[in-house]
Amino acid sequence: MTLDLYRQGQLAPSREWVNLNPEERRRRAVAAVAGKDVATLLDLLEAHHVRTHGHVSKETLRKYRLGGRTWLEYAQSHAVKVLHPEVEHADLWVRELEASGKSPASVGVLLAGARALYSALRWAKATTDHPFTDVKPRKDKRRPWDKRQPYPEGDVGKLLAAAPVEMRVLLRLGGIAGLRASEITGLKWGDVDLEGGTLTVRNGKGGKTRRVLLSSSLVADLRELGPQKEEVAVIGRTPEAARGRLRTLCKQQGIPYLGLHALRHTAGTRLVRAGFQLQDVAEHLGHSDVQTARTYGKWADDRLKEHLRGL
């Protein structure tokens, strides 16, 4: 593992944790806990996670930091000893998250961040505790395809008709190209080949790079929007901002907001409905497991629905 990752870009603030001698690292971690210095502890979490996993996307780091922050805020408000919490407190935190209405998937994301925090604290030798080892969110009883609900075609058409060009590009990057939120906002003009009709996703989920074919409608919208200098972001801002813009557009058009990620499910459903094999769908969307694409078939297959309507 090279330390180059810590010497540039967004990771520069974390490099000092790696360069510290073990005793100083421990001292700073313990002092941060004692001083309730959440920002320092989250920097420790980030530095350790990147150190052990290599490249990590901004979105992944954001989620891990959110999980760590949420647990630390709970610990502070409930007088929990952060370095040596009782397992019961870890259980109660998860139950409280569930009671607040968070889905099992959302709770799982926050739990992963809390686990990453304690992995970092153990690396710093500030504790030896594993408070979240046996803590699990409530089992999700929803069927896999119910968690990947796409936007109906009519709703997508209505959104496109009402959207300015930049928003149309966002809608089509998600609903046709199948990009994730962080991939949409991280896309640069230098990664778009309008003549070849492709774009390159860099540092996607798991740090992977993939090439994605573009539709003629997306190429047309991209031409209208740009192109600009290679280093300029096509959409830019943050995934949260992109979600907010889509939420606002849905509200304006009277369309239920299903989330930005639901556009990706729309893309997958369209491909399955068009007759493409699951392997093709998985490659287009960047799934590591072809079985993940299988759930789109449940939304794409309308034969049973049409049959029952006729009875």
pLDDT band at 209 (very low <50, low <70, confident <90, very high): confident
Looking at per-residue confidence, does 234 or 290 come out higher?
234
Domain count, the chain: 2
**Do 255 and 118 share a domain, yes or no?**
no
Residue ranges of E strands in the chain: 192-193, 198-201, 210-213
pLDDT at 36: 95
CATH number, domain at 169?
Answer: 1.10.443.10
Q: Whose CA is closest to 83, among 21, 31, 48?
A: 31
pLDDT at 50: 87
The answer to whether position 141 is within a domain reads no
**Do 187 and 107 share a domain, yes or no?**
no
Q: In the listed set 53, 88, 123, which residue is the last one of a domain according to the structure?
A: 123
Give the number of other CB atoms < 10 A from CB of residue 162. 13
pLDDT band at 16 (very low <50, low <70, confident <90, very high): confident
In this predicted structure, which of 39-43, 56-60, 160-164, 232-236 has the lowest mean pLDDT? 56-60
Q: Which amino acid is at 267?
A: A
pLDDT at 131 over 80: yes
pLDDT at 145 over 60: no
| DSSP state for residue 149 in the 8-state scheme | P
| 114 Cα distance to chain centroid | 17
pLDDT at 78: 95
CA-CA distance, 161 to 56, in Å (whole number)? 36
Give per-residue pLDDT as tens, 214-232.
999 999 999 999 899 999 9
**Do 187 and 284 share a domain, yes or no?**
yes
**Taking the chain, what is the end-to-end CA distance rounded to the nearest angstrom?**
63
Share of the chain above pLDDT 70, in %: 85
Instruction: Name the percent of the chain in helix, strand, coil, to the closest 5.
Output: 65, 5, 30
Average pLDDT, the chain: 86
pLDDT at 307: 40
In sequence order, which residues have a C-beta less than 8 Å from that of residue 115 and are 6 or more positions away?
67, 132
**Do 290 and 221 share a domain, yes or no?**
yes
Cis peptide before 227 (omega within 30 of 0): yes
Q: Is-contact 174 263, C-beta < 8 A?
A: yes
**Structure-token pair, residue 200:** 């390159």
pLDDT winner (highest mean) among 162-166, 181-185, 261-265, 296-300: 162-166
Look up the domain containing 275 and give its range.
Answer: 147-301
Give per-residue pLDDT as tens, 20-49.
999 999 999 999 999 999 999 999 999 998
pTM to 2 decimal places? 0.67
Burial of 131 (0-12, 13-18, 19+ CB in 10 A): buried
pLDDT at 51: 84
In sequence order, which residues have a C-beta less than 8 Å from that of residue 148 and are 6 or more positions away?
262, 265, 268, 295, 296, 299
Region 84-89: what's the mean pLDDT? 92
pLDDT at 139: 78
**Do 119 and 151 share a domain, yes or no?**
no
The answer to whether position 130 is within a domain reads no
The answer to whether position 265 is within a domain reads yes
